[in-house]
Amino acid sequence: METLIIWQEKYSVHVKEIDDQHKKLIDMINELFDAFMRKDQEDAIEKILHDMAAYSVDHFYTEEKYFSQFGYSDSEKHIAEHRKFTLEVEKFHNEYKRNSYMLTSKLMAFLREWLNHHILEVDKKYVDCFTAAGLR
């Protein structure tokens, strides 16, 4: 299987539930990448893309639930990034129906960059807040 992103310890936010969700999201992105590299049927790629988008929304909801539960101070900007991601993936999905090949390589680059930036720079900021609240 072709792999786009490998989960590493540096991605850990020290909360098992969220690390597990990030791992699952990375798995789904890799699945998408693999299907793309195998030039899989477009229907298959579209289904994985749809599932990945739906999973990311569930995952964002988990983080945002903790933001309000723990009164996380930086939540506004963070939530804005989540919404932007969802819209961006939706845009890719709509465009995919029109021009699948071109788009998928752009989508892969977007997903890899977004994930690295988001987990390493944005998610990391809530670690102190979440762990101080007792999440592990």
Interface positions with Fe ion (CB under 5 A): 63, 123
Of 44 and 122, CB closest to Fe ion = 122
Beta carbons within 8 Å of 112's beta carbon, 6+ residues apart: 4, 5, 29
CA distance 83 to 79: 6
Of 19 and 40, CB closest to Fe ion = 19
H or E segment at 10? none
Of 66, 48, 104, 59, which is closest to residue 85 (Cα–Cα)? 59
Of 2 and 74, CB closest to Fe ion = 74
Identify whether the C-beta of residue 129 lies closer than 8 Å to the C-beta of residue 72: yes
From the CB of 49, what's the least distance to Fe ion, in Å?
A: 20
From the CB of 99, what's the least distance to Fe ion, in Å?
A: 29
Helix spans in the chain (H):
16-37, 42-70, 75-96, 100-117, 127-132
First to last CA, the chain: 32
Of 31 and 63, CB closest to Fe ion = 63
From the CB of 80, what's the least distance to Fe ion, in Å?
A: 11
From the CB of 102, what's the least distance to Fe ion, in Å?
A: 28
